[in-house]
């Protein structure tokens, strides 16, 4: 991975990083609050050799003192010293005792850390009293008349510390936040490495071998208002479906696809909402569009459009009603052939010759037929009906559909000899490279153009008069067809009935 890839992962997983940074900061603050402040008292001792006054003896004594310092430090850090200090103070509350010495030095610094400053000084001074006696016992020669070669004496007693030696709150918080940041970055990278969901368009194109026809950004208001007819003409979501409509028309210019299956790998990817809004976008451009609710297990399309599904596909296939008797008019100028009564054998019905004949009849009646089917992987319904169509659109949800599911869905459609026309990426983030543009801030409405024209002075300084916008000046999406200087653009020739 390159540096931009790492930055992209951190941007996508910023919640994980932020959560662990907050946890690290809170843990550091809690530990500082619960841990009492500690004080450190230090006593300094001097190691000297007992030698004669000759120069060679003094040099040898200095070398001996330096050699003894290391050994004495080990003795001070051992349990032997602690036992003597406990007996001297008649208490085992000694805190932490540590000894150190600089290289080539005969000074030993003994530090005692304790929550009580007075106790820390008392223990340190007790160490300064016990160590010389202990060294005398260790260095006592066998002869009673001989002098110990090395002695230790205290040169700087310990004073009662005033300021705590423990880490302060700012440093503790900084350490906690940095630790949380490191854990957050590691967790984000690990989660990205283990994540099998589809996160970008390049990955989706590589898995399917088909172009991406549209990207629909996440909108929290979709469950309450799923249809784009309830939104402003210049809304980004409505423009996204216009883009999907345009890309679909140019999938194969030489062989236009009029009967299309809209499906997904698993449930909850947004295929039904995509089918409804794509149909509305096609109808607004002057296409005769019918939506077929071919999900005979859990039909949702009629509910999304606010229509009834008491009669529909199964009513026609059973011979009870004709197509023109069950077609309903939906919002945005679309027609709907709902599911009808749910049968016990949906896969067999959708794969029947009657279903193929129904699709052929709808092909003759309408410019575009969009068939909403169940997901590909749980059941075979979509593959059963796809063989009688011109191809399929696979709807994939950002960070939900996994790469294995996409690959399996593609294989299922291929086994049914259904062409995969392209993909639609739903629930994409609002920001970042996958987000679609906020066209509200880019395109100007007719009222804004009229207001801007009125504010500009006319030639000769005569103020312009604001007039109502004529119907000929409306955008193509507002009247159902485009306008060119007041004249309509050529519309597609309707398919012969």
> For position 266, which CATH number holds?
3.40.50.300
Asked, for residue 161, whether it belongs to a domain, the answer is: no
353 and 412 together in one domain: yes
297 and 178 together in one domain: no
pLDDT of residue 482: 37
How does pLDDT run across 261-270, given as a tens digit for each residue?
A: 999 999 999 9
Asked, for residue 206, whether it belongs to a domain, the answer is: no
pLDDT of residue 484: 38
- Chain-centre distance of CA 149, in angstroms? 71
Stronger pLDDT, 108 or 64, i.e. the higher one:
108
pLDDT of residue 64: 72
> Mean pLDDT over residues 76-83, rounded?
86
The 3-class SS string of 23-57 reads HHHHHHHHHHHHCCCCEEEEEEEEEEECCCCCHHH
pLDDT of residue 165 exceeding 60, the answer is: yes
pLDDT of residue 114: 92
335 and 470 together in one domain: no
Instruction: Rank 46-60, 121-135, 395-409 by mean pLDDT and report only the highest.
Output: 395-409
Asked, for residue 347, whether it belongs to a domain, the answer is: yes
> From the CA atom positions of the chain, what is the Rg in Å?
42
Provide CB contacts within 8 A for 149, sequence distance 6+.
Answer: 49, 50, 51, 61, 64, 139, 141
Q: Give the dihedral sign, CA 296/298/301/303.
A: positive
pLDDT of residue 429 exceeding 90, the answer is: no
453 and 367 together in one domain: no
Asked, for residue 223, whether it belongs to a domain, the answer is: yes
pLDDT of residue 471 exceeding 80, the answer is: no
Position 52 confidence tier, pLDDT thresholds 50, 70, 90: low
Provide CB contacts within 8 A for 495, sequence distance 6+.
Answer: 258, 288, 364, 366, 367
395 and 461 together in one domain: no
pLDDT of residue 255: 87
Stronger pLDDT, 320 or 168, i.e. the higher one:
320
173 and 138 together in one domain: no
pLDDT of residue 445 exceeding 60, the answer is: no
Average the pLDDT over each of 18-32, 143-157, 238-252, 316-330 and give the range with the smallest value: 143-157
pLDDT of residue 474: 36
Asked, for residue 44, whether it belongs to a domain, the answer is: yes
251 and 389 together in one domain: yes
Asked, for residue 202, whether it belongs to a domain, the answer is: no
> Mean pLDDT over residues 431-437, rounded?
51
pLDDT of residue 441 exceeding 50, the answer is: no
pLDDT of residue 494: 44
How many domains does one find in the chain? 4
248 and 391 together in one domain: yes
pLDDT of residue 248: 93
Stronger pLDDT, 446 or 418, i.e. the higher one:
418
pLDDT of residue 479: 33
DSSP-assigned states of every residue in 361-387: HHHHH-SEEEEE---TTT-SHHHHHHT
Report the C-alpha gap between 85 and 128 in whole angstroms.
10
Q: Count CB-CB contacts under 10 A for residue 25.
A: 20
The residue among 289, 229, 228, 279 whose CA lies nearest residue 393 is 279
135 and 230 together in one domain: no
pLDDT of residue 41 exceeding 80, the answer is: yes
Asked, for residue 496, whether it belongs to a domain, the answer is: no
241 and 367 together in one domain: yes
Position 301 confidence tier, pLDDT thresholds 50, 70, 90: very high
pLDDT of residue 138 exceeding 90, the answer is: no
Stronger pLDDT, 63 or 9, i.e. the higher one:
9
CA dist list (Å): 75 to 107, 122, 126: 15, 20, 15
101 and 15 together in one domain: no
Which residue range is the domain that position 479 belongs to?
A: 446-488
Report the C-alpha gap between 345 and 296 in whole angstroms.
9
CATH number of the domain where residue 56 is located? 3.30.70.1130
How does pLDDT run across 368-421, given as a tens digit for each residue?
A: 999 999 999 999 999 999 989 999 999 999 989 999 999 999 999 999 999 999
pLDDT of residue 291: 98
Stronger pLDDT, 496 or 30, i.e. the higher one:
30
pLDDT of residue 147 exceeding 90, the answer is: no
216 and 340 together in one domain: yes
Position 435 confidence tier, pLDDT thresholds 50, 70, 90: low
Asked, for residue 112, whether it belongs to a domain, the answer is: yes
pLDDT of residue 404: 94
> Mean pLDDT over residues 465-484, rounded?
38
Report the C-alpha gap between 59 and 52 in whole angstroms.
11
User: Taking the CA of residue 248 as centre, how many other CA atoms within 13 Å lie in the half-sphere pointing to its CB?
Assistant: 30
pLDDT of residue 228 exceeding 50, the answer is: yes
């Amino acid at each position: 991975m390159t540096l931009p890839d790492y930055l992209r992962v951190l941007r996508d997983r910023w919640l994980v990083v932020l959560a662990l940074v907050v946890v690290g900061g809170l843990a550091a603050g809690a530990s500082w609050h619960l841990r009492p402040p500690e004080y450190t008292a230090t006593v300094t001792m001097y190691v000297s050799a007992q030698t004669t006054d000759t120069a060679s003896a003094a040099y040898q004594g200095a070398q001996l003192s330096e050699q003894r310092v290391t050994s004495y430090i080990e003795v001070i850090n051992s349990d032997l010293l602690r036992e003597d200090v406990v007996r001297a103070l008649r208490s085992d509350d000694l805190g932490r005792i540590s000894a150190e010495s600089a290289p080539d030095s005969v000074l030993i610094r003994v530090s005692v850390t304790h929550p009580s400053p007075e106790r820390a000084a008392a223990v340190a001074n007790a160490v300064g009293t016990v160590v010389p006696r202990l060294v005398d016992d260790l260095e006592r020669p066998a002869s009673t008349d001989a002098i110990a070669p090395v002695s230790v004496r205290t040169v700087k007693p310990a004073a009662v510390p005033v300021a705590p030696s423990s880490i302060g709150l700012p440093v503790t918080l900084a350490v906690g936040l940095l630790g949380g940041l490191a854990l957050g970055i590691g967790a984000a990278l690990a989660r990205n490495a283990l994540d099998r969901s589809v996160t970008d368009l390049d990955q989706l194109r590589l898995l399917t071998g088909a172009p991406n026809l549209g990207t629909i950004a996440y909108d929290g208001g979709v469950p309450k208002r799923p249809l784009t007819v309830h939104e402003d003409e210049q809304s980004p979501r409505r423009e996204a479906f216009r883009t999907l409509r345009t890309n679909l028309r140019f999938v194969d210019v030489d062989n236009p696809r009029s009967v299309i299956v809209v499906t997904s790998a698993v449930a909850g990817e947004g295929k039904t909402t995509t089918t409804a809004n794509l149909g509305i976008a096609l109808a607004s451009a002057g296409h005769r569009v019918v939506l077929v609710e071919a999900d005979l297990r859990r039909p949702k399309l009629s509910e999304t459009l606010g229509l009834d599904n008491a009669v529909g596909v199964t009513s026609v296939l059973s011979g009870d009603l004709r197509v023109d008797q069950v077609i309903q008019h939906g919002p945005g100028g679309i027609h709907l052939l709902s599911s009808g009564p749910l049968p016990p054998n949906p896969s067999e019905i959708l794969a029947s010759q009657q279903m193929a004949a129904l699709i052929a009849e709808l092909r003759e009646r309408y410019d575009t037929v969009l068939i909403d089917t169940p997901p590909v992987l749980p059941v075979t319904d979509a593959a059963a009906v796809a063989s009688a169509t011109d191809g399929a659109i696979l709807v994939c949800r950002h960070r939900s559909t996994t790469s294995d599911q996409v690959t399996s869905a593609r294989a299922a459609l291929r086994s049914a000899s259904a062409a995969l026309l392209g993909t639609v990426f739903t629930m994409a983030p609002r920001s970042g490279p996958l987000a679609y543009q906020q066209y509200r801030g880019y395109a100007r409405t007719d009222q804004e153009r009229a207001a801007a024209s009125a504010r500009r002075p006319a030639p000769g300084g005569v103020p312009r008069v604001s007039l109502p916008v004529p119907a000929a000046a409306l955008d193509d999406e507002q009247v159902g067809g485009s306008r060119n200087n007041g004249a309509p653009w050529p519309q597609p020739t309707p398919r012969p009935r």
